[in-house]
Amino acid sequence: MASSNNSSSHLFVANLNNVSLEKLVRSKLEIWLKQIEDGGRVKNFYDQVLEQVEKPMIELALISQDGNQIKAASLLGINRNTLRKKMKIYKIKPLGQKP
């Protein structure tokens, strides 16, 4: 019986429903730190981790609120100016705006 990458990725996605975000993040951080121990180079580890989590969180909040920045900011628990600042930092375009 041949195994395919497709079926294994489906299993991974299916199992995500049973794993907390904290455990997923911890697992990924352990992998990154192991790579550093094995001679990998990392600069600004904290900032890299924040960007990896914060950027998709902001993008998804904007999508879920149909691009309404005030509603997205409220969902995230930040003010609109902070949201706009982070959108600029991460180069997130407002929905409906061409790249």
Fold classification of 20-89 is Arc Repressor Mutant, subunit A (1.10.10)
Residue scoring higher pLDDT (84 or 35): 84
**What's the confidence (pLDDT) of residue 69?**
97
**What's the confidence (pLDDT) of residue 79?**
97
Tallying the residues shown for the chain, one arrives at: 99
Separation between Cα atoms, residue 1 and residue 78, nearest integer Å: 51
31-70 pLDDT, tens digit each? 888 888 888 777 788 998 999 999 999 999 999 999 999 9
Mean pLDDT of the chain: 84
Domain ranges (residues) in the chain: 20-89
Q: pTM of the full predicted structure?
A: 0.74
